[in-house]
Structure 1
Amino acid sequence: MKNSKHIKLIVTISLFALIANSCKDENDSYYKPDIPIFDQNVKDLVDEINADSLEKKVQWLEDMGSRFAVNDDRKAVAKRIRDRFISYGYTNAKLDSFYVSLTTRWSQTYYTWQYNVIATLEGSVTPSWVYVMGGHYDSIIGNDGAYTTAPGANDNASGVAATLEVARVLKEQGFNPQSTIEFIAFAAEEFGLYGSTDYAEKARYETKNIKFMLNNDMIAYWPVSSNNMRVNILDYNISTEIREKAQDYCNLYTLLETINDNYYQKYSDSYSFYLNSYKAIYFTTDADDPYYHTINDVTANCNFEICKEITKVNCAMLVDYNK
């Protein structure tokens, strides 16, 4: 009888384990790298990130003259970015419009339509889970000349270029992610994070399952006199783990040194995600840009080696979480 009870107990436990396993939350079966380790397949994709390609994208954005958020051509600018995504094979690339009141630094108020640009790489296993990479595309300088000339190469053509570059590489290399990746160029950041706020609030309302957001803002200035390249990875109290993993990815796949200084964490698009309870981190170079918000923020004053390395971190994270 003892053995019979023992057998029954084993069968009962086994059946319970089988049922429990079949009822697992889908998050339990999802690959999440607790401790990132080197993966040659990830490196092969990351190594496709190209400094010359990034430079050409930044120059292309600079050549638009100004991407000032209240310019008459703001929709045309958004369409050009959308069309670049489409040229990479993202036929679902779209403008996501929203209406907002914007007041300039010289006290002019505009009621305008603004346009986020979104391109989606659909997930093959858990498409309802979403990873976001992005940066704002609008630019500004410190006076009303922004209407005609606001090149915004580092701030923030660099972040848009990084987003476009990762989108290009993943599509060209045929990467098939487990979960959905959204590449976003945000509008009207310089006026108060309006584009990312609109997106994040809509996402929260729709209960969108965003796993994390990678924000890139001013990632292409680094003094040529400095040998070491250093990225500041800002986080929030709900995304410390993501930031720590980003530092691990820097060590595995880039030449970057890392720091974590959160002084400016409220001043870029990642903050909108945090305010809506989404995990987000924010990449920026650890250097004061002397050309910030001036007509001299041009491609020629950017460093595309550090831009490439920061772009590689983004790519590594998106790939490793979705392989």
Structure 2
Amino acid sequence: MRSFMFILIALFSINAFAQPAYPSEKNLARHIRYLASDKMKGRGTGSEENVKAGKYVAKTFRKLGLTPLGTDGFFQDFTAKVRRVVVPDSLRPARNVIGFLDNGAENTVVIGAHFDHLGMGRQGSSKADKPEGQIHNGADDNASGVAGLLELARYFSQNKEKEAYNFLFIGFGAEELGLQGSRHFVNNPTLALAKINFMSNMDMIGRYDPGRGVGIGGFGTSDKWPEIFKDVKSDIKFFTDRAGSGGSDHGSFYAKQIPVLFFHTGGHDDYHKPGDDYEKINYKGEKGILVLQIQLIEKAMQLPKLQFTEVK
């Protein structure tokens, strides 16, 4: 009996170890609660808390064994121009955080999300009546996307597969100030843009509503997306949009004629307000969105490098 129990335990352990490192609600909650806590004071560009958020992303990349591909380790520093503010315009230090998963492939898939938000309401475009001095935690916008970025990095780096493409995981800075981090990257790439297959962006994926579903933009940016989306099965309701430009970091890649996907669960009453807190995140829904995204990425990687299509 003891030998039989040992065999059962061994088989269970092997099976559990063999399972892919799928996204975890627990991990998503841990990342979002840290990034969107009051102690992070809204992660405004140029703030000490924004630096901490970038270091958190870099620390996670390092733990996952990703290769630094910034200009200074994982970091790519730049200067952001602050506009639309309740204080005078100014220049502020900002950075992207870049980690590379080398599968020895010719081309690379980019997965991105921005980690900055509106800070204490003195920069960006708060919709609060009296924003100055209020913490804008940005749990959905965009701690949810960063958590997704980190979980996808964990999945693709820990799934024991050598994929047909490399991966470049990027946490973008200064998105709320006009996509400045992603624009800086595409104008100063640390990996040749010609080697990028497509870019997948997550911005506000934390408020999944089963009635609406998750919107996926960029469907028109390659003639292969309809084939890739065909027969995809998911518990998550989704709909597609052809546009490749728009108000998030994928737009910078689209402008360089790179196919994109953009995941977004839509606006809500807390958008760009102090009430965007981690307690309101739909963690189960976000996990489902990431599993859907994994399916699409893995199907896309079965094809040759995608060709760009301009959306008229």
Report the TM-score range of the alignment, normalised by the length of the smaller protein: 0.7 to 0.9
AA matched with 1:87: K
Of 210-219 and 84-93, deviating more is 84-93
The aligned residue for residue 3 of structure 1 is: none
AA matched with 2:25: A
User: Equivalent of 2:66, from 90, 97, 101?
Assistant: 90
Q: TM-score, normalised by structure 2?
A: 0.77
Distance 2:250 2:162 in 1: 26
The aligned residue for residue 26 of structure 1 is: none
The aligned residue for residue 95 of structure 2 is: 115
Q: Residues 230-309 of structure 1: matches in 2 within 5 Å?
A: 230-235=213-218, 237-239=220-222, 241-242=224-225, 244-245=226-227, 247-248=229-230, 251-252=232-233, 254-261=234-241, 265-285=245-265, 287-309=266-288
Give secondary structure in 2 for the equivalent of 1:66: helix
Distance 1:215 1:179 in 2: 17
Are 1:162 and 2:136 counterparts? no
Offset, 1:146: 6.7
The aligned residue for residue 211 of structure 1 is: 197
Which structure 1 residue ranges, 5 or more long, are not aligned?
1-43
The aligned residue for residue 38 of structure 1 is: none
CA 1:207–1:295 in 2, change beyond 3 Å: closer, same or farther? closer
Distance 1:246 1:92 in 2: 30
Contact 1:97 1:113 in 2 (8 A): yes
Contact 1:98 1:198 in 2 (8 A): yes
Q: Residues 1-323 of structure 1: matches in 2 within 5 Å?
A: 45=20, 48-63=22-37, 64-92=40-68, 94-124=74-104, 126=105, 128-140=106-118, 141=121, 142=126, 145=131, 149-203=135-189, 206-223=192-209, 226=210, 228=211, 230-235=213-218, 237-239=220-222, 241-242=224-225, 244-245=226-227, 247-248=229-230, 251-252=232-233, 254-261=234-241, 265-285=245-265, 287-322=266-301
Distance 2:249 2:264 in 1: 12
Contact 1:66 1:146 in 2 (8 A): no
CA 1:161–1:240 in 2, change beyond 3 Å: closer, same or farther? farther
The aligned residue for residue 10 of structure 1 is: none
Distance 2:132 2:222 in 1: 35
CA 1:260–1:317 in 2, change beyond 3 Å: closer, same or farther? closer
Q: How many residues align?
A: 271
Of 268-277 and 258-267, deviating more is 258-267
AA matched with 1:159: G
Q: Which has the higher helix share?
A: 1
Distance 1:309 1:272 in 2: 26
AA matched with 2:115: Y
1:185-221 residue CA offsets vs partner (Å, 9 max, x unmatched): 1111111001111112224994431110001111110
Q: TM-score, normalised by structure 1?
A: 0.75
AA matched with 1:116: N
Offset, 1:315: 2.1
Contact 2:220 2:243 in 1 (8 A): no
AA matched with 2:159: Q
Superposition CA RMSD, Å: 2.8
CA 1:300–1:78 in 2, change beyond 3 Å: closer, same or farther? same
CA 1:236–1:111 in 2, change beyond 3 Å: closer, same or farther? farther
1:17-68 residue CA offsets vs partner (Å, 9 max, x unmatched): xxxxxxxxxxxxxxxxxxxxxxxxxxx63x7222222121111211223211
Larger-gyration structure (1/2): 1
Offset, 1:281: 1.5
Offset, 1:136: 0.7
1:92-120 residue CA offsets vs partner (Å, 9 max, x unmatched): 36011122322243252221221111111
The aligned residue for residue 14 of structure 1 is: none
